[in-house]
Amino acid sequence: MSTTIRLNDSTLRDGSHAVRHQYTTDQVRRVVRALDDAHVEMIEVTHGDGLGGSTFNYGFSRTDELDLIEAAVDEARHAKIAALLLPGVGTIADLKEAALRGVSVVRIATHCSEADVAIQHFQAAREMGLETGGFLMLSHRLAPAELAAQARIMVDAGCECVFVVDSAGHLIMEQAADRVRAVLDEVGGDAEVGFHGHQNLSFGVANSLLAVREGATQVDGTLYGLGAGAGNAPLEVLATVFDRLGMDIGGVDVTGLQNAAEEVLRPMVERLPMMDRGSIVQGQMGVYNSFLFHAERASQRYGVPAQDILREIGRRGYVGGQEDMLIDVAVELQNKSLSLAVS
């Protein structure tokens, strides 16, 4: 008997980065309706940076994320509505309010080496009766065995599925597979393992397939690949590939997802993510994908090429939450350029 692979949709969370967090309740309802009709089991809805992410540093939402969550819960007939929480950005109080609005799943995200900052959040979520997932972001920054040790911290705290998260689209084939295998060897039997891929170097779908072959049972994607950087693994492509290979995807309607991407989401989006120079540099240097628009804005303000800013923050190893540091890098590069011009 084949293992059922759960395809999770993050169009209304990770995809929020690509639309600068400007979703409306009507748009959320239309996307949720299409995904629900296609039998997607879990739909994630929040600001791109999770609960509490609507701030000056990360970008303000057009519509309060709790109102978006409430609209999604009201629209879904079968799907579970999930929220993302980054400790330090969102709080347990935010999580409680999201649960009151109807969220039944929370995914708690930390930098890959800082799983311990989420212990109290997992414990609180389980006490609320929520399904829990854990995101180990920028998973390429740790070797497989080290990543597995962080996964163990999450599972011991109450995480039911640990996700190897390729936040920069940096992992290539065995690099993804080896991390999934190491995490599964550590927590298998106690928790599931999932994979969350991005397309910066065009390996999001391939890495997701390899993750499943190594034992991952949950895989994330977004309609049309909408997301930070070059975008996420496209959910409609994941479903098509897995179905073509005879994998059990839990009754997801492949044609329905293809239609949802083309007919529902595509008309809403002015700019789709692509593998352009900036996002390729992110994948090359292992740069957190939500930095792309921040780098582009700093480039316009200070006259420094965005790709140079991204390369420099890659060399410095910045992580999610340090978006404000891009300004410092841009100013330094501008001053260096002016000094060279004078000399």
Binding site for Mn(2+), residues?
Answer: 14, 196, 198
Three-class DSSP category at 142: coil
Q: Which helix (H) or strand (E) holds 325?
A: helix 325-342
Taking residue 195's Cβ as centre, other Cβ atoms within 10 Å add up to 29
Q: Which amino acid appears at position 19 of this protein?
A: V
> Distance between CA 48 and CA 68 in Å, rounded?
12
Q: Which of 17, 21, 111, 170 is catalytic?
A: 17
| 3-state SS record for 263-305 | HHHHHHCCCCCCCCHHHHHHHHHCCCCCHHHHHHHHHHHHCCC
Residues annotated within the binding site for substrate are: 13-14, 167, 196, 288
Catalytic residue list contains 17: yes
The DSSP output letter for 32 is H
Taken as a whole, the chain contains a residue count of: 343
The DSSP output letter for 139 is G
CA distances from 240 to 47, 48, 324 (A): 28, 26, 39
Residues annotated within the binding site are: 13-14, 167, 196, 198, 288
Strand partners, 234: 222
CA distances from 281 to 119, 131, 170, 247 (A): 33, 35, 10, 33
Tokens found for residue 265: 């989401």
Could you give the residue numbers annotated as active site?
Answer: 17
